[in-house]
Amino acid sequence: MKRKITFLVMALLAILPIFKVSAAAESKPDPKFYIYLCIGQSNMEAGATPAEQDKDFNDPRFQFMAAVDMPNLGREMGKWYTAVPPICREGNNLGPVDFFGRKMIEVLPPDYRVGVINVSVAGAKIELWDKDDYKEYIDNERDWMKNIVSQYGGNPYERLVKMAKLAQKDGVIKGILMHQGESNSQDPLWPERVKRIYDNLCKDLKLNPKQTPLLAGELKYAEQGGVCAAFNTTIMPNLPKVLPNAHIISALGCESTGDQFHFSTEGMRLLGQRFADKMLQLQGFKPEEKRTLTLKPDKLGIEISPTLRGIFFEDINNSLDGGMCAAHPEQFVPGL
């Protein structure tokens, strides 16, 4: 009997290193699981109603880590779920992050996965994500915003870092997405504030700044009724100057809901896909789009008669624009 027990003990001791190696292998982060941190205001929170084409999405290659508990949906903070909206908080809907992830998995090889962590707060200034000054800012904000922030334990930056550290056990953080600025639309220090948050994230999560791009989406253009459109030309262009690995994502042509700040479903779709296009290009999965124009000044154009001394052109209703402005119908009625 003693021999049998001794044999069993020795057998267990012999295979124990195998279990240890196996467990270590299982806990190693997947280098093909790309994770992106997301922060911003209401457009980033996501309030777009799903179009018919969006309703059946259920691809496990695109996941999100819940940054808050979602009891009505059976989701727990700190766990991964297939990115079926809402992926920010209960009560939200579709946004740029959804369309970013869906476009990413369309282009990435089949063995790659995408994960996102979205910690966004409607109406919030960028100061809310400053690890040192957030409390002074939120203490003086409106009650409804405080209620949102309370879902993140009162400190959105700390919650984002906590979730990101959990996520790093499973994959690799490859970038940061941001859509914020409406509440800082006249703040010339906004680029420096963003850089401070970015630097803190890189330090706290041990990220290499050269390998961690930050993509910042523009605000609504004036053509879409955006009251903060000047931010796109006066403040946002300075971001890459103070943060070299920052890239601006155009919102030109992104459809509006009709109000002064928010994008429609199609507007968010286009913006999110532009986020993905740029990230894919930066990470080597999509070539940068280039357009070329070849000029040959030494080559003659069409031959012109030597007797031609000029040309008469009557510009009616801006027809010189190339037909962009339609002429009045009466101009084509015989006898008028």
7-42 pLDDT tens trace? 544 554 555 454 444 444 457 999 999 999 999 999
**pTM tops 0.75, yes or no:** yes
Q: What is the pLDDT of residues 302-335, one digit of tens each?
A: 677 777 767 666 666 555 555 555 544 444 444 4
> Which of 204, 201, 149 shows the shortest CA–CA distance to 176?
201
- pLDDT, one tens digit per residue, over 57-82 is 999 999 999 999 999 999 999 999 99
Closest CA to 164 of 55, 47, 35: 35
Residues with a catalytic annotation lie at 42, 259, 262
DSSP strand pairing (214-217 vs 172-179): parallel
For the stretch 204-252, pLDDT in tens is 999 999 999 999 999 999 999 999 999 999 999 999 999 999 999 999 9
Question: How far from the centroid of its chain's Cα atoms is residue 22's Cα?
Answer: 36
Contact in structure between 75 and 66 (CB atoms under 8 Å) = yes
C-alpha distances out from residue 104 to 156, 209, 271, 273, 297, Å: 26, 21, 13, 8, 43
Give Cα 118 to chain centroid, integer Å: 10
Identify the residue with better confidence: 291 or 251.
251
State residue 310's pLDDT score: 73
